[in-house]
Amino acid sequence: MTARCLRSLGTCSLGAVLTLGVLAAPAQAQTAAPQDEGNPFVNIFKYGGTTKPPEAPPSPDDVYCPIIDVTEGGSSLQTMAGGTVRTQIRLGQLSRACRPGPNGGTVVSVGVQGVVLLGPGGAPGRFNAPVSITVKNGTQILARRTHQGAVTIPAGQASGSFTVIEDGIVVPAAQAKDFDIEVGLGAIGKPARAPRRKQAAPPPADG
């Protein structure tokens, strides 16, 4: 049965009041204006105080930090002496860390561990392990650092380890979300020149 208002008495039945209230509730919820964050009463529930706290600095976990790539052929390196292998250098553990830098950029730190093994032509002594660290965006080199990891192999030992740490490579904000980190042993040569384009043959003359 449909509830009706008694116009003569200016009142409505209880069922009509409940029905109108249920129908009106959704419309009120959809058209309600969002709460103002400047309202102290609202801030108590949202932030635990009457004022909105200052924005937190960017978290290091939110900074883009790609996995390190090893350059082609750069995972190991041999040195020769009289036609025999003197030493063999191998990369070990690689690590990197990225943190927010100035003007929206990113500061990159790279750690490299490796080992030097004596070969048949080697003898205990002091050795250097050449390590190259490159940060790039596509073919654009943003930074390149070269280090000599020092290794001392004492008498009676056949190997020694080295550690190289590069801290403070700044990636500009324009490339902070799209760059690569590469590590390799040995000197990094100049990139190969692109092949020259052949000139197009002239069109045949009209006969």
The pLDDT value given to residue 82: 87
Domains for the chain: give ranges and CATH numbers: 7-55 (no CATH), 60-185 (2.60.40)
Q: How far apart are CA 162 and CA 115, in angstroms?
A: 6
CA 160, CA 89: separation in Å to the nearest integer?
Answer: 10
CA atoms 33, 39, 45, 46: torsion sign: positive
pTM score above 0.85 = no
Residues constituting the chain: 207
Q: What is the pLDDT of residue 27?
A: 37
Map tokens 């009106």 to a residue.
24
Q: What is the mean pLDDT of the chain?
A: 76
Average pLDDT over residues 171-197: 75
* Tens digit of each residue's pLDDT (9 = 90 or more) over 127-148: 999 999 999 999 999 999 999 9
In this predicted structure, what is the pLDDT of residue 60? 53
Query: For 63-107, how does the pLDDT look when each residue is reduced to its tens digit (9 = 90+)?
Result: 999 999 999 999 999 999 889 999 999 999 999 999 999 999 999
CA distances from 54 to 34, 51, 57, 63 (A): 21, 9, 9, 20
- Say what percent of the chain tops pLDDT 70: 61
Residue 9 token pair: 């008495």
